[in-house]
Amino acid sequence: MKKNTSKMPAVNGKISIAPSILSADLCRLGEEVSKVVQAGADWLHVDIMDGHFVPNLSFGPAVVRSLKGFTDLPLDVHLMVTHPHKFIEPFAQAGADLLTIHAESEDDTRQTLQSIKSFGIKTGVSIKPDTHPDVLQTLLDELDLILVMSVYPGFGGQSFLESAPTQIKAVRQLINASGKPIWLEVDGGINAQTAPLALAAGADALVAGHAIFSSADPELALKQIKQATPAI
Ligand code: DX5
Ligand code: ZN
């Protein structure tokens, strides 16, 4: 089995910001990535959508491969697909540093996480807003990251759900009770106003797409999110 040497750091007590390229100007993807690197992005979030698990299409492994050749940022790849198992190898070989699958997907979650590990990549599982965090309980041994969706997945630019902090707090309790070093990432509607709500509920990694890339000044927008989260 080919080994990918993941650049994704272990939990380190800091807050990580992961700009989502879903809202970037794709004609200028390199420039857009350079802007967020300059502004202090920690990871790059890449949303993969299959038009079935979510009602939208986005990128494939070729985009991950190009990003890998362009930036040193860890590539945080979020698979919003019904059947993730068959896509693990292509994304691993393209250079993903972390692959997050959905608990609601139709493949065997544990087997798919083991496949991710076999490539030397970090593992993540995501839950949608209506999924009970208890589904994560038996998976904690396999996980480097839990991704809590703070919008219904499928599109950038939605509003942070009022119910999200309750979900984030429940996942934080689960992680703390396990004593395991698992990142708690929150994805959807994050901006300088909502980032503190996610952090207060227990997040230590934040995805932001629209707030950064749809801004007239993406560098400033990212810095404003960082300033709003003083633990950084
Ligand atoms: C939504 C995606 C998100 C999205 C976040 O389905 O998983 O990563 O890009 O975008 P904003 O920050 O615009 O909500
Ligand atoms: Zn995402």
- What are the structural domain ranges in the chain? 16-228
Ligand 1 in contact with 47 (CB < 6 A)? Answer: yes
Active site includes 47?
Answer: yes
Domain covering 16-228: architecture: Alpha-Beta Barrel (3.20)
CA of 2 relative to ligand 1 center, distance in Å: 31
SS (H, E, C) the chain: CCCCCCCCCCCCCCCEEEEEHHHCCHHHHHHHHHHHHHCCCCCEEEEEEECCCCCCECCCHHHHHHHHHHCCCCEEEEEECCCCHHHHHHHHHHCCCEEEEECCCCCCHHHHHHHHHHCCCEEEEEECCCCCHHHHHHHHHHCCEEEEECCCCCCCCCCCCCCHHHHHHHHHHHHHHHCCCCEEEEECCCCCCCHHHHHHHCCCEEEECHHHHCCCCHHHHHHHHHHCCCCC
Ligand 1 in contact with 19 (CB < 6 A)? Answer: no
pTM of the complete model: 0.97
Ligand 1 in contact with 164 (CB < 6 A)? Answer: no
Return per-residue pLDDT of the chain as tens, 232 residues: 567 789 999 999 999 999 999 999 999 999 999 999 999 999 999 999 999 999 999 999 999 999 999 999 999 999 999 999 999 999 999 999 999 999 999 999 999 999 999 999 999 999 999 999 999 999 999 999 999 999 999 999 999 999 999 999 999 999 999 999 999 999 999 999 999 999 999 999 999 999 999 999 999 999 999 999 876 4
